[in-house]
Structure 1
Amino acid sequence: MKKIITISREYGSGGRLIGKLVAESLGYDFYDKEIIDMAAQESGLSPDFIKKTEQNLSSGFLYNLLLGSSYSGTANGASSINGTQMLPLADQVFNAERKVILDLAKKGNCVIVGRCADYILNTSDEIDSKSLLNVFIYGNLEEKLKRIEDLYKEPEQAAKKTIQQIDKRRANHYNTFTEATWGDRKNYDIMINSSTAGIEETARLISEIAKHQ
């Protein structure tokens, strides 16, 4: 039985809803936007700031060091106190969310959506990999467009642009803060096209796999 399930997903694939249905089926706790409030308490940053910062600032500190970027003053969101350099704000947000995700995983019996949770938990010495199930959910463009049009009343062209922009931000964020590539099959235990089975059946399949692993 897998005690921790992470859900990575393409925008419009229904990944959040699928994750929620999996949690309900297994009697697990479900975490998505709730992580923002927890990270705010951890970091002292406001929930609204963290929400706006997620995936929008993708220049990680170590990544920029490799490129030779300078973090003087407030460049790239970095700050300093009494001349002592602090991490850029994007990194502060990531580190706060990382700690929250690890704490939640240690408790077990949970489904966590997004935020590089698959990589964070897979590379942590504190988490037993045998208790972890990493899932990536994708979908056909037509189905994703229809879902976004129905949910947010966006016309097709606007919905298509939104999908491209959000998936690009998710990929940039993941690729910067991890040593892996977003959507690469090597990072996940399961990759499912939600357009093939539908939302409910996809959730059922994940639940069954989690029960019997």
Structure 2
Amino acid sequence: MKTNTMVTITRQYGSGGREIADLVAKKMGVRRYDRKVVAMAAEKLGDETNFHDLIERSYNAPDNCLGNLGDYAYERVPQHNRMYIEQAKVILGIAREGSAVFLGRCADYILRDTPNTFSFFIYADNAFRQQRAKAQYVGYTLKDLDAEEKHRAQYYAYYTGRTWGDPQNYDLMINTSNLPLEAAANLILSYIEMRQNADR
């Protein structure tokens, strides 16, 4: 695999996307970035807010969710959410340093013009997600997962002008309902290697 390979993973809640991102990062021998991006951005902003509250605020966007940044016009981010600007800077900075795996955080959009970046969307059917909600998300129901997902989709739409989950935004979409998570991780790596070999 080439150096400076960027992998972005967007996932439907309850699909196993977080575990897949961890597996891909481990197999690549690189770090997986998710909430760490928020912490790094907060440090730059001098924000010492409780981390749980910080995570919640990191998804702030105007309620109407109309409009988008477009072409990295970060200066047009509403003043109430400077966090997105800093997260974008952190992600771009990490990408300049070497290979990495990013989970969420609009990384697929932020890195869309970065060479050697591959974006994946992980999803699953409702029965699979409901089962994982009971086992992996204590006290959560499928309805709870869908509500959280809707909130994140609105955030994504506001800052990118794209539709979350639109196949055109990703290199590959993977349904984990009948596929072991490790097999899904291997599929991602095989896809990247195939693409990189084809470009030689």
* Residues 1:181 and 2:171 are matched in the alignment: no
Question: Which amino acid is the alignment partner of residue 148 of structure 1?
Answer: A
- In structure 2, runs of 5+ residues without a counterpart are 69-76, 196-200
Alignment of 1:54-203 (within 5 A): 54-55=58-59, 57-59=60-62, 63=66, 87-90=78-81, 92-122=82-112, 124=113, 127-128=114-115, 131-154=116-139, 158-203=140-185
CA–CA distance in structure 2, aligned partners of residues 199 and 59 of structure 1: 35
How far the C-alpha of 1:108 sits from its partner, in A, is: 2.4
TM-score, normalised with respect to structure 1: 0.79
Cα drift, residue 212 of structure 1: 2.7
Q: Distance in 2 between matches of 1:135 and 1:199?
A: 14
Aligned to 1:43: 45
- TM-score of the superposed pair, with normalisation by structure 2: 0.84
Q: How far did residue 41 of structure 1 move?
A: 1.3
Q: What's the CA shift for 1:32?
A: 1.2
What CA RMSD, in Å, does the superposition of the two structures yield over aligned residues?
2.2
Asked which structure has the greater CA Rg, the reply is 1
Q: Which residue of 2 aligns with 1:73?
A: none
- One-letter code aligned to 1:140: D
- Which structure 2 residues correspond to residues 23-34 of structure 1 after superposition, within 5 A? 23-34=25-36
Q: Deviations over 1:73-124 (max 9, x none)?
A: xxxxxxxxxxxxx94222x0111111111111112211000010001110x4
SS at match of 2:174: strand
Q: Which runs of 5+ in 1 are unaligned?
A: 66-85
- Matched residues, number: 183
Q: Aligned partners of 1:87, 1:46: CA distance in 2, in Å?
A: 21
